[in-house]
Structure 1
């Protein structure tokens, strides 16, 4: 009996536990464009005649599904050394039997659809050097047993849904150089034990949920070059002074980590090229001295004060100095670029927006390569500064992509039998050649402007690949959130029309096998795809592994020990189960095309029914125009919120896919996280992280028994504003939400606000043919009455200030507890009228606790400013965030004791008296007057 078990239906099913990968998936010819199936080295090659596979039709021309299993060799284990299945659309789960592959050195399932957990048995493969699972749908915790892999060099689990802490056992990975765990849901404290890793180069854990303190022990990592911890929550922690001892560090990125205190002395880090400490609560002066190799300094959105040091003029490689949204005073420096030499592609961005800079030299004329932003500084308000008006306009700077350009030399047309192109960089420009396509991403580059480093990159990569520089053409590049740099490359043959097969295999092996290391300034890379194109038909039937071409396309792998044991009884049970599932599935509409979004988990209807006890009424937590919302629990125990569309829902397929596409690439603590979706059986469901405290509208409702305090309302307002500011300025490309309202602001267990529901969102406009970015999108009016920007309603012109208006209405709801429109009354008009009549405090929510009057006045003023009828008069979201931060700085730091802090030099001790106590329900203070809610 041959160990082959076949399933040719379209569903993923659990099969014999002897298969390495539990998987079934449809295939098409597109798979040929992706990286090699490099499975076999060693004795398995000697037994290739034992391999069996099955397909329905020709796997190169028709879709098929199957399970491939391999019979166990006589000695009881398999001699596989490499298992690389890069971006082959595999789905299913990793089986515990992977632990049987005791000779395995490379386990590479990158960029597939694998879900489930990482089996602890992987810890048995002590020969493993590369464990590459990034870009899947893997969830659950990290097994402690991974710490047993003492030969492991690279661990990549980024862009999954893995949760829980980093096991302390990872400190045993003494040969690890690369820990890439970013873009997951990891939580807890970062273990200080990791400081024992002697040769760790790259530690990337950004976009997770880490908390606690920032371990000073990390400074003991002797070889660390990149430390990237962005978008975590080390609330109350400061940047350890010991970080100044990290002498090998090239990049330090701690953006949006809730860090406090002063910036330590970093002048002793000789090779530091990239520093990002933005979006924290750092105070004190700017660093006076940094490495002369530094290219990027981003310290914006903090509370840094003092003047801009003149020492910044001694940084010859500087590309970006962002100090926006701080408390800086003094003069605008005019000498930063004086010691710099600018080539054609060299640029320098100086972003000083929203500070308190008051002076500028009389002759302020930077070279054309320098961009200066001064908007929001007093210097822009001076009447005698008309010559700097172009520096004072509000701008957002983003690096444009580099697009391919056609050769200007007139050449004959190339043959059409292959994907011929003229290489625009070749000394033989009219030679028709067939390039290879390479998707390539720099995961943590130490630069902010790639244009001036293009030549360095081309020389670096081609020298590592043993190519001439003109053989590499950068077709395009674009910055992604992180920041990460996504590039589409073309590799051209050298003075011949086509690559030979051995050269293709060599290049593919070097890129897919991590056999090159780029210069430190470019950081680690990842291969996104290796497109064979016309070469797919030229690859011989027998590859390095001995596999036929059909097997390379068709095998959904699995080396097994003992598939012979699969019984007929198990098969019958599975088929019965599946027939039952198919009977339920028949009602799925044949008219609707199911969507597929990369990097987002697709759940089955059965998964959703199981998670909600078959959509029991007891699990329902809400209902709206879109449908019902249920609380569910996934098979791994993760609590989720499931939004199920009802038939004839307001939200159509376009909005459904829009929300999935947008949320899949947005990562911010104040945006709700999308776990996955379901799109089958005429059902549309979105699966979010569960928000135990519901919506903001719930807590403003008269039915709420525990009303929000003023302090909590301010924090909710700030969190919401930060999330929207991220959409407007940090997302790439920027996004207009278009449906901001109290019911779309969710609250987690700590009452942290998270903006949700992106079904109506629109991408901000891009550059037109003249390089000008329009300020609006002309579109059909959509949104919720009461929150709609009146100018958008009249002109159909959607702008970022349309979101500002909607958020202003939410602020008014926070202040009054009213609905936007109730019994014919409009909340904006009601509040404006009350303020004009001197009755400002009469419309404050009577259930609110006492509040400082000055803080309340500022909040009301901000809310009404956001709701101004004229678009241009409304503040940008960056100003909204800054004003809310200033108001909160006037509020108590300790929300429980409610001690009132007016500024850094004056602290007034006060106490709040509960309305239940005898006496009064007002704020007692000898300082700032306060009023109780009426």
Structure 2
């Protein structure tokens, strides 16, 4: 190709042509949409400068990053049809002017750090088919106006902080197939209108604050295949028997939903394959007719109150049935439950990394990151793969190993690839459960993909244009890594203009291009001469780290790290600005790790910043552990990590600010608004649920190792959230023979007064170590005492009073209402947790069940204060704390169904003391 100074003439001319179009013809993107895009940019914070192209030229002809345009028939303007800005580390808010993009089909801001509300103006874009806003920090309620979008078929707002009810207007979305609303703080009932949508396939609403009875109208659904509603509070609700009429359902997951009653007959659901009812309060027996379902493969009934396995029940060999934590496992004749009562923590083991290099093969070239194609029919075949981060969000399987081949065949078929072109480098089960995979796509017996082939594959994956078999459920794209291909992409693409349009522009402006080409070329040569001191090796290395800058218009295609649930990397400058240079007035706490500051990010978000002492720096294990663990833990009773800073010899963790501080703050003698009994009970239950999630649902499970009152934080609604995972350890997993080790041998760490005596003596850490620590917290909640004070140990003091039969002297006198029968029951549970004998302590599921039972037994009118009253008690901001961190995510709302209209309990009883 002809060039000047090493720079190709064609590229110069093409750039100059587009510059000339702007000069001669003016903007050819619709002016209203140009204004809208500028307004959107003004509301965004772009620390990585990913949107620098938005500062020049016309959006469609200057190829603004992530802006894809098309020509509308009989219209003189180009229109923005897709806005693809996923995983660009953007923060700020989504401007209401987005509603002016009248021809938009796809709105994609996945995996950023956006805050604020979802603009109701989105409801004006009647052409929208896809809204993907998942993986941000959006809050507020869902706009009713989204229900106006008749063409919308996918709404993904999962993994945000959205609250309020699901709008009934969503029942108007007749084209809707995919509702992904999990991991938020949505409340109220599931609208029955959703189940009348004609083509709805997937409804994911797990890990919210939904309540009320399960809607029997679910039986009216025409096409629903997956309902995942785990981790909600359908307290007192049973599973409607009419669910047996759902003919299309493949997966029904209602784990940890406070369900009661019996398990109904669901033998009328012919394709049911995955059924999870674990961690509820279901009783009675297991229906015998489950054994007649031909596609059934997974039944999880762990941690209920089931007491019978019917003689007629014979689960097929292919079915996994889990019963651990039920009464049936404690019967005098356990033979019937043999093999069914073992605890399970993981779906299956990660695949790890397969062999890449044969001993008989010469090394691949290193200049473009060549690798051996593991499945190629040609021996020792080297090629450059594409990397794809891919996650199954709600798979209808529990063991991927037996479905791995089916997935390979299925996915390569829809991608129009041969099976040997796909290599599953690694897969890992995550909480949910969700299946995270890293895939590599290899060229078809050629060394490199063509650029058009890369673009085709990316469009299929990112455009939600592939349809996997129903058994694999919905998927999401986490990243699409260009790697060595990034340097080959042309710099002017992705505008949506076809080749004919570009050719016409080129022909019409060639003279103007030549006229200015000499000046432009000299400018380019001058810039290149300044860079000649950079070695070739340095340039090769830089390609990998600056791809997104050199190919801005393909930033969504270029190399970027996988975004794990919104964890953000902050600069030291951002942290200093947020805290006014770490001014003493911003300090709100101090602990062994360092100081905690209240900060304010550039977008106005209040945060808590935990800054390490100098002697805690340089690869602090606690620092790394907390980032790794919190990045993959999502539960309404666990604290959420916003980001971290690791530069300038500084290590900081950034959390959401917790206005109500720590539990210990509210148990201290100086607290002006002491907690009432119902609040303390609710906090205890929340903490137990958070730790239960760590023990049974995190994958792999986690032992916290430092449960204490200062690590239980309270949000604006006094919802408890367990925090500070710096000392946490992964629980043991089954060995190669499937045996589960009973403990981890580790150096003793924790806080005096909360330490499990058995762990302290033997260095054997188990889940029962956390149980002991939580038991101490329960005793603190009822007594107000500290674990160790004036040489007295709280466990010993409470035990003595309990055995004497008079506990009135140790109950916190600041509680205005606490009947002896409830205090006794609460203290009894705390003492059971604190027994020296590890085996005698209850499991966390039993603790949560007992606390919920105590709450349910409270007299009507005493269950909880109104939300308004509790908000009044949280109106002040704590100025000092002994906690390592003051942090939260939006949590569940209190159930006020039994509160009086005034917000004050209708009957007050004096403390028995």
How does the TM-score come out when normalised to structure 1? 0.75
Q: What is the SS of the residue equivalent to 1:860?
A: helix
Q: 1:636 to 1:543 in 2, by over 3 A?
A: closer
Residues 237-246 or 715-724, more deviating = 237-246
Q: How far does residue 116 in structure 1 lie from its aligned partner after superposition? A: 0.8
Match of 2:302 in 1: 324
State the partner residue of 1:356. Answer: 327
1:457-496 correspondence to structure 2 within 5 Å: 457-496=407-446
Distance of 1:610 and 1:231 partners within structure 2: 34
Partner of 1:378: 330
**Do the aligned partners of 1:404 and 1:476 also contact (CA within 8 Å) in 2?**
yes
Work out which of the residue numbers 720, 745, 764 in structure 2 matches 1:778: 745
Residue matched to 2:179: 203
Name the residue aligned to 1:398. 347
Tell me what 1:292 maps to. 270
Are the equivalent residues in 2 in contact too, given 1:79–1:104 (CA < 8 A)? no
State the match for 1:762 in structure 2: 729
Question: What's the CA shift for 1:646?
Answer: 5.4
Compared CA separation, residues 654 and 424, structure 1 to 2 (3 A): closer
Q: CA deviation at 1:280?
A: 1.4
Give the direction of change, closer, same or farther, for the CA distance of 1:625–1:544 in structure 2 (3 Å limit): closer
Given that 1:422 and 1:429 are in contact with CA atoms closer than 8 Å, whether structure 2 keeps it comes out as no
Post-superposition Cα deviations, 1:292-324, rounded to whole Å, max 9, x if no partner, equal: 111111112222233222221221111211122
Is 1:737 the equivalent of 2:704? yes
State the Cα distance separating 1:771 from its structure 2 match.
5.2
Indicate which of 737, 756, 759 corresponds to 1:792.
759
CA deviations 1:701-755 (Å, max 9, x no partner) are 1222443333332222111111011111111222221211111111223322111
| CA distance in 1: counterparts of 2:252 and 2:51, whole angstroms | 49
Corresponding residue of 1:752: 719
Could you report, residue by residue, the CA deviation over 1:224-279 in whole angstroms, capped at 9, with x for unpaired residues? Answer: 111111111124x1222222111110111111111132222223321101111121
Match of 2:815 in 1: 848
Q: CA deviation at 1:449?
A: 3.1
After TM superposition, the structure 1 = structure 2 runs for residues 506-655 of structure 1, keeping only pairs within 5 Å, are 506-533=456-483, 553-555=548-550, 557=552, 599-603=566-570, 621-634=588-601, 636-645=603-612, 653-655=620-622
Give the aligned length.
776
Partner Cα distance (2:337, 2:169) in 1: 53
Q: 1:531 to 1:692 in 2, by over 3 A?
A: closer
Q: Is the 8 A contact 1:641 1:690 kept in 2?
A: yes
Query: Residue 210 of structure 1: CA displacement?
Result: 1.2
Cα offset, 1:878, TM superposition: 1.8
Once the two structures are TM-superposed, the CA of residue 528 in structure 1 deviates from its matched residue by 2.6
After TM superposition, list the pairs within 5 Å mapping 1:855-934 onto structure 2. Answer: 855-895=822-862, 932-934=911-913
Whether 1:707 and 2:657 are equivalent positions in the alignment is: no
Does the 8 Å contact 2:565/2:632 carry over to 1?
Answer: no
Counterpart Cα distance in 2 of 1:474 and 1:227: 27
Match of 1:436 among 382, 386, 391: 386
Contact kept? 1:80, 1:104, Cα under 8 Å: no
Quote the Cα distance in structure 2 between the aligned partners of 1:486 and 1:667: 15
Q: Which has the higher contact order (CA 8 A, sep 6+)?
A: 2
Q: 2:288 aligns to what?
A: 310
Task: Report the Cα offset of residue 455 of structure 1.
Answer: 3.0
Greater helix share, structure number: 2
Shift of 1:787: 1.1
CA-CA distance at 1:155 after TM superposition? 1.0
Cα distance in 2 for partners of 1:828, 1:432 equals 65
State the SS of the aligned residue for 2:862: coil
1:224-373 equivalent positions in 2, closer than 5 A:
224-235=200-211, 237-260=212-235, 261-264=237-240, 265-289=242-266, 290-332=268-310, 335-338=313-316, 347-357=318-328
Equivalent of 1:666, from 633, 640, 645?
Answer: 633
- Of the structure 1 ranges 226-235 and 673-682, higher mean CA displacement relative to structure 2 is found in 673-682
- The answer to whether the 8 Å contact 1:250/1:273 transfers is yes
1:829 to 796, 810, 818: 796
**What residue ranges of structure 1 are gaps of 5+ in the alignment?**
1-39, 53-62, 87-99, 358-376, 560-595, 899-908, 912-916, 923-931
Residues 263 and 253 of structure 1: is their aligned pair in 2 closer, same or farther, counting only changes over 3 Å? same
Query: How many Å separate the matches in 2 of 1:522 and 1:81?
Result: 36
1:437-484 residue CA offsets vs partner (Å, 9 max, x unmatched): 322222333333333333332222112122222332323221222332
How far the C-alpha of 1:176 sits from its partner, in A, is 1.1
Distance 2:123 2:388 in 1: 33
Quote the residue 1:149 is aligned against: 125
Separation in structure 2 between the aligned mates of residue 70 and residue 717 of structure 1, nearest angstrom:
52
Conserved? CA contact 1:442–1:524, under 8 Å = yes
| 1:873 CA displacement | 3.1
Cα distance in structure 2, aligned partners of 1:457 and 1:621: 51
The verdict on how the C-alpha distance between 1:499 and 1:403 changes in structure 2, with shifts beyond 3 A counting, is same
Residue aligned with 1:267, SS? helix
Q: Summarize the alignment of residues 83-94 of structure 1 with structure 2, pairs less than 5 Å apart.
A: 83-84=65-66
Residue 732 of structure 1 aligns to a residue whose secondary structure is coil
Structure 1 vs Structure 2 CA RMSD? 4.0
Runs (5+) with no aligned partner, structure 2: 1-10, 24-47, 69-75, 503-523, 525-541, 555-562, 866-897, 901-905
Structure-2 change in CA distance of 1:240 and 1:132 (3 Å): same
Distance in 2 (alpha carbons) for counterparts of 1:714 and 1:555: 57
Shifted more, 414-423 versus 151-160: the winner is: 414-423
TM-score normalised by the chain length of structure 2 = 0.76
Structure 1 Cα separation of the partners of residues 252 and 176 of structure 2: 19
Asked whether the 8 Å contact 1:845–1:933 carries over to 2, the reply is no
Q: In structure 2, how many angstroms separate the alpha carbons of the residues matched to 1:434 and 1:637?
A: 44
